Amino acid sequence: MHIVVCIKQVPDSAQIRVHPVTNTIMRQGVPAIINPYDLFALEEALRLKDQHGGTVTVITMGPPQAEAALRKALSFGADDAILITDRAFAGADTLATSFALASAIRQIQKNMPVDMVFTGKQTIDGDTAQVGPGVAKRLDMQLLTYVSKVVSVKPDKAEIVVERRAEGGVQVLKTRLPCLVTVLDGNNQMRFANMPNMFRAARHPLKRWSREEAGIVDEDIAKIGLKGSPTVVSKVFAPTPKSERAEMIAVESGDPKDLAVTVLAKMFTRFPAVEKEIAKRAQ
């Protein structure tokens, strides 16, 4: 059984720190992590490997730094890793990304047939959830999205059963292999790598594939990277908060009693009903 897991390196939004005094956000040095959903996908794949044996190959399309994400995946137990990296891929949207990934997976299949492709449900930076379905379509694979759990795989029958989270409940779905699964934050938790795997990951000869090695011929160059990307992000901005802003109340004396009186007076003018209610209860 051979499972290919697609992972993407994203900025760790959880590690953006806030200054204790000024409350400003500090973006400097925010580390890159593996997209959290992709870790769930990888863990599901590794569990299947634990049960049935087989091979797990991780791939990512990204800049040279994405090597760190692949090495980490290797330390968790993936058998092989391929970094698809080429200037020609820069600026890819979901269309171009899925074209390139599908082409790379076809190349992988030439060496060893692929039974399943796992991706995350979506990324935490692009958030489109389109790459998985895009790859499935191009590879003409069965597609299972929003999967919270792989219930069983029967390699001899080329069959997979999963739980899929849908509105109003959980669907149990069965389909045939080969199949692409997009994985939700489900029941599993990524294992803690053991030391022998840490050593193996650090020493593993990583494969780096250029455009040609990923099987993209010259005629298709307009289907990858910026050229192959009809989507343009024209602007990125933080929406203005809708709620009213907090008001600073200045108290001259700094005496707690004065402070309480001022705050209450302010509150009562703004919400007369509150004052009435308190007065009523006090009686």
Interface positions with ligand FAD (CB under 6 A): 6-8, 35, 37-38, 60-62, 91-94, 97, 101, 119-120, 122-123, 125-132, 229, 231-233, 236
CB of 157 to ligand FAD, least distance (A): 26
Could you tell me the CA-to-CA distances from 144 to 118, 132, 158, 162, 225 in Å, in that order?
Answer: 10, 9, 15, 8, 27
Q: Which is nearer to ligand FAD, 57 or 94 (CB)?
A: 94
Q: Distance of CA 38 to CAs 66, 121, 127, 135, Å?
A: 14, 8, 13, 15
Q: What is the DSSP letter of 94?
A: H
Min CB(69)–other proteins separation in Å? 12
Q: Would you say 66 or 153 has its CB closer to ligand FAD?
A: 66
Which partner from the list other proteins, ligand FAD, none does 53 bind, CB cut-off 5 to 8 Å by kind? none
Question: Binding partner of residue 205 among other proteins, ligand FAD, none, CB under 5 to 8 Å per kind?
Answer: none
- Residue (203 or 242) nearer to other proteins, CB: 203
The smaller minimum CB distance to other proteins, of residues 196 and 205, is found at: 196
Least gap, CB of 80 to ligand FAD (angstroms): 15
- State the minimum distance, in angstroms, from the CB of residue 242 to ligand FAD: 23
Residue with tokens 């995350």: 120
Q: What single letter denotes the amino acid at residue 154?
A: K
Which of other proteins, ligand FAD, none binds 248 (CB below 5-8 Å, type-dependent)? none
Backbone angles phi, psi at 191, to 5 degrees: -65, 160
User: How far is it, in rounded angstroms, from Cα 71 to Cα 201?
Assistant: 5
Cis amide prior to 178 (ω within 30 degrees): yes
Structure tokens at 175: 């389909």
